[in-house]
Structure 1
């Protein structure tokens, strides 16, 4: 079996290493932080949401972006300062609009397929990640949003995902703690939530048990390949050699891919979250159990155990920038105060992460220009949801490469 280097210890890198190790490969995982899952896989919204498979390449996204460009607390915020990377990304985004329907259906199918692998791995390895299988409720405040959701539901159904429309009364029955006036909602019973960091950390430990060499606290300075061998040079001068390399480095995949002769137009789309600490019984009772997605504000929620309530969302196009802005966090806190007034927001942990997003909203999984270079990156807003299936797909690409590189057995002449 081959020796592969996986660069990146987020959810896609760790699932990649785990899937490859299960196939019997020798795997070295390189992560620049001391622990796995410390960047974008640290405090996201927590949803495992096939119901959120709608890609963003819809004309309405452009209209909203223009409308909100100069509104600091807008759900979608684009820094108007131009850069070639940003301009090229948006040009390809617009070019992908005709594939909105087919890509939404394809993403739905991937999200459904991912469940079997992710839940199976968690059970096999005994990973506790605050899994809550109580569905996801999408909430709508007006007719226009609700009717658009109806059209999206048709695409989700085409991809194999059933979800049902619910009235405001049914919404209150599904999640009694939710306050406010709503036009209606859509409920997907098969969706779930969990703590991505706990899962990534637990699967990283499982990787170590399978023999994966974990090189944490190491920054990659250079990656090279001649098509037969791969070489990674670390910032401290160490050199790691292997048969092949897998790039799963999130928003940093673009720069690493360029070193290998591949163009990955991954853009860092910042998202924010708050983790509300439910330190008293009243807050624990007033916080929702069912996961929510508020389409108007683009916020999602998850209940992580008894004492934590996660609210996440927004999209900010501002390059590689992890600054936590107060004017972007405040709307999340205000939303909790409005929708769940019984929850104390006295203790709130803010966070920001960079989604690695391709212009067509589809992950980049497969081989690069060189035969022994592979990618599993660019998952955008669904990295947690899609990670297990794309790791499985990566394993299939590597298996195909191994079959092609294996020396052909030559016939042996038999003499009397």
Structure 2
């Protein structure tokens, strides 16, 4: 049986490990955190949103970005400090503006494909992740925004997504707890929400029970192509393991594999460079708050239907009876993981304004670094060297797209590295 390393235990890494195991591979997942889904897959906005598949490569986005550059609480913020990586990424971003329509349509198709896989996995494995199938409601505050949304909806329709335009009266009927006046909206009944951390952690436990090995607290230092296997395949992964009570210093290990799939989020760029590949990921920070709905009044005042406020670029998800996730913003500031008060405050203020009956006394802030490619499309492909593969660069849609890209990359691995004497397939279901 071929042995494949998966680098990264976020949503893309764990779904990739699951897909590879289903095809009969021996799989080892290596991650620097103690548990799965502890970085970008920890507390995102929660939306499984084909209706948010529009790529950002447009002149409208560029003009807004320039306007917002010096506004600390703006939806999009860029640190103007010079950085070759940042500005070269931006140049590629601009070069992909002509691909805006095609990439939006393709992302929509991929999102629809992904949710079908995800729902089947959750059903088969009995994974509880606070899944709510109440749709996603986009709200707009003026005619210009609504008119633009119609154009985007036409692209979504080409990708196979149905969503309907709604009036202010229909908005109030769809989500009665929402306060404020709105010009109109679009509602996508087929979209849904869920807790990315609970799903990823739950799927990792399913994988573990059925033989997938996880090496945690292991920081990957390099992945080297050895070419010692059939057809020039073969890689070695060197990593350092955090010291435990008996070890005063980290210990370094190197393991050999038939192949490797890089799912390391923003770390994928450096690993790829060491393998001779260019994966131009830039870290784009997103923020969220989890509002703890500790009293019945707050639980009644918080929405169950997921929202996207077009003006503020804020999204919401209801995660069970007692949690309300509010997320948004995009910050181009390198690998800075600081949780800034001036970026969290707008999320709290927005919650208080649109849902005044929700008590925000207990709020948990979070920030994560989204791995963004300049064309806003995930890198799901083989590398230059045999046995090297990438499933990374999903940006703000990792939760939405992961179950599709995992299947795609597993199929590419199977084409390049057929399973030798495959073991009988195990049905990885919760007993």
* Contact 1:276/1:348 (8 A) holds in 2: yes
Equivalence for 2:153:
153
- The alignment partner of 1:352 has SS state of strand
CA offsets per residue over residues 321-348 of structure 1, 9 Å max, x none? 1100000000000000000000000000
* Contact 1:311/1:332 (8 A) holds in 2: yes
**1:342 and 2:357 matched:** yes
* Contact 2:2/2:420 (8 A) holds in 1: no
Q: Which moved more, 1:343-352 or 1:201-210?
A: 201-210
Matches within 5 A, 1:189-200: 189-200=189-200
**1:232 and 2:237 matched:** yes
CA distance in 2: counterparts of 1:402 and 1:35, whole angstroms: 29
* Contact 1:108/1:161 (8 A) holds in 2: yes
CA distance in 1: counterparts of 2:222 and 2:272, whole angstroms: 10
- The alignment partner of 2:417 has SS state of helix
CA distance in 1: counterparts of 2:144 and 2:266, whole angstroms: 34
How many pairs align?
406
The RMSD of aligned alpha carbons is 1.1
- The alignment partner of 2:132 has SS state of coil
* Structure 1 unaligned residues grouped into runs of 5+: 408-416
How far apart are 1:84 and its partner, in Å? 0.7
* Contact 1:278/1:284 (8 A) holds in 2: yes
Equivalence for 1:181:
181
CA distance in 2: counterparts of 1:172 and 1:94, whole angstroms: 38
Pick the aligned partner of 2:343 from 321, 328, 335.
Answer: 328
Cα distance, 1:106–1:69 mapped onto 2, change above 3 Å: same
Equivalence for 1:355:
370
How far apart are 1:226 and its partner, in Å? 2.7
* Contact 2:262/2:268 (8 A) holds in 1: yes
Pick the aligned partner of 1:242 from 242, 257, 274.
Answer: 257
CA distance in 1: counterparts of 2:383 and 2:172, whole angstroms: 49
Q: Which moved more, 1:44-53 or 1:208-217?
A: 208-217
How far apart are 1:406 and its partner, in Å? 7.8
**1:106 and 2:106 matched:** yes
Matches within 5 A, 1:8-407: 8-227=8-227, 228-235=233-240, 236-403=251-418
CA distance in 2: counterparts of 1:203 and 1:321, whole angstroms: 29
CA distance in 1: counterparts of 2:274 and 2:350, whole angstroms: 43
CA distance in 1: counterparts of 2:381 and 2:102, whole angstroms: 20
- The alignment partner of 2:155 has SS state of helix
* Contact 1:366/1:376 (8 A) holds in 2: yes
* Structure 2 unaligned residues grouped into runs of 5+: 228-232, 241-250, 422-431
CA distance in 1: counterparts of 2:185 and 2:32, whole angstroms: 42
- The alignment partner of 1:221 has SS state of strand
* Contact 2:387/2:417 (8 A) holds in 1: no
How far apart are 1:210 and its partner, in Å? 2.3
- The alignment partner of 1:219 has SS state of strand
- The alignment partner of 1:170 has SS state of helix
CA distance in 2: counterparts of 1:295 and 1:322, whole angstroms: 25
How far apart are 1:287 and its partner, in Å? 0.1
- The alignment partner of 2:288 has SS state of strand
Equivalence for 1:3:
3
* Contact 1:55/1:361 (8 A) holds in 2: yes
TM-score normalised over the length of structure 1: 0.96
Equivalence for 1:414:
none
CA offsets per residue over residues 60-115 of structure 1, 9 Å max, x none? 11101100101000000000011110011000000000000000000000000001
* Contact 2:194/2:319 (8 A) holds in 1: yes
* Contact 1:3/1:242 (8 A) holds in 2: yes
- The alignment partner of 2:17 has SS state of helix
* Contact 1:226/1:370 (8 A) holds in 2: no
Runs of 4+ residues over 3 Å off in structure 1: none
